[in-house]
Amino acid sequence: MVDPPSEDLLAQQTKDDLRRRIEAEMADLVPGYLENRSKDLQSLRVWAAKGDFESIRGVGHNMKGSGRGYGFEEVTEIGGALEGSAIAESGSEVAQHIDQLAAFLSRAQADCRTAHRQGEDRES
Amino acid sequence: MSGMESILVVEDCPDAQAQVERALTGLKVHFAGSLAEARKKLEALQDLCLVLLDLGLPDGNGFSLCSEIAATGGPRVPVIFLTGSDDTRDLVTAFSLGADDYIQKPFVSLELRARVMGRLRRRTEEHDRILEIGPLTIDLDQMRTYLRGEDGRSEIVLTPIEHRLVHALVENPGRLMTRQSLISRVWADAIVGPRTVDTHVSNLRAKLGADCIEIEAVRGVGYRAFERRQELG
């Protein structure tokens, strides 16, 4: 007799299925979304240098609210962390989260370019 | 959802706007990025069927707008909060101000669409309990009556008996209602005389005004109501 799948496995499958559906649904909006985050990154660096925590909080809040909807759980997490650090007015934590965002964007944009190339190869 | 009614999304984050727009593909969606812009659109959109409302907006928070929508005369427009706040106090405040649902960001488009469509379905069912004749709207569940005029819609305060009376008269415009049938409908066959009916009809005419509907007396029989048409030329 085959054991039924564990609850953890089912939860993971549901999560994966949901992620795939989000990715498919939002695929054409993703490059624009990442582009907007790159602009945020530049603004965040300027605001961090000036100690403008209110502006950093606002952008962090918006990233937290939008990331998962576009399939980027990491953006939601970094956004939430930025918001919290800005409220605490912790410049060092803000700088750390800005670095995390830069690293994420570098990876995500590379993945995006690869996916785009693969799509073009399939079409040709 | 009857026809293509408008949904107003009050949201200042462009990425969230894009996601909502994608989630509600096929529906007529309008966006406002601030409370001020939302107030203008609320006045302008005559076919509004739902408001999706962010909490944190550049010129204030969504609670004030939710209260304003709830206080507006006429059938209520459902409000769904769409917010990044995970504070339970905000959720409780939203519902206490009359919100119909509360969706926390980040949200999944499929879930947003499902909740919006569910809310619109319920609204359509509720709308069947709204009676309209000319400028008069009668909300049968809330027992409230509204008159649409040049200055917008205002409530006409009726007693419960007057409310049942106007309902009975306008339910089938032009149909003759005998005094006895009105007594049966409005007073549930209590012992009241025909003069009581006449008195209440007279009061009702005074409250509704001359330009609204015409309640015609049929001598010795009863009454019938018509929408009053504009005189031509």
Alpha-carbon distance values, B181 to B145, B177, B187, B189 (Å): 22, 6, 10, 9
Higher pLDDT, B33 or A120: B33
Greatest C-alpha distance within chain A: 65
CA B158 from chain centre, in angstroms, equals 17
**A92 CA: distance to closest CA in chain B (Å):** 25
Contact criterion met (CB < 8 Å) for A69 and B84: no
| Phi, psi (rounded to 5 degrees) for B86 | -110, 20
Residue type, B107: F
Interface test with B, best of A25, A78, A87 (most B CBs within 10 A): A25
A30 close to A70: Cβ distance less than 8 angstroms:
yes
CA A123 – CA B7 distance, rounded (Å) = 38
Per-residue pLDDT reduced to its tens digit, A73-117: 899 999 999 999 999 999 999 999 999 999 999 998 887 777 767
With b for 16 or more beta-carbon neighbours within 10 A and e for fewer, the B109-127 pattern comes to beebbebbeebbeebeeee
pLDDT band at A1 (very low <50, low <70, confident <90, very high): low
Cα distances (angstroms) measured from residue B11 to each of A29, B54, B94, B119:
18, 5, 16, 19
Distance of CA B201 to the CA centre of its chain: 25
- Token pair, residue A109, equals 């944009």
Residues B230 and B208: beta-carbon distance below 8 Å: no
Is A69 within 8 Å of B14 when comparing Cβ atoms?
A: no
Which of B49, B92, B90 has its CA nearest to residue B69? B49
Q: Which of B43, B73, B67 lies closest to B157, judged by CA?
A: B73
Using a cut of 0.90, tell me whether the model's pTM lies above it. no
Assess A55–B contact: CB distance below 8 Å, yes or no. Answer: no
Helix intervals (H) in B45-191:
62-71, 88-96, 109-127, 160-170, 179-186
Q: Is there a contact between B126 and B135 (Cβ–Cβ < 8 Å)?
A: no
What distance, in Å, lies between the first and last C-alpha atoms of chain B?
38
Nearest to A69 among B14, B19, B56 (CB): B19
User: pLDDT by residue (tens digit) across B17-39?
Assistant: 999 999 998 899 999 999 999 99
Confidence check: pLDDT of A11 > 80: no
pLDDT at B174 over 80: yes
Furthest CA-CA distance within chain B: 68
From CA A52, how far away is CA A56, in angstroms rounded?
7
φ and ψ of A82, to 5 deg:
-65, -45
Please check whether residue A36 touches B, CB under 8 A. yes
> What pLDDT is stored for residue B232 in this prediction?
41
Radius of gyration of chain B (CA): 22
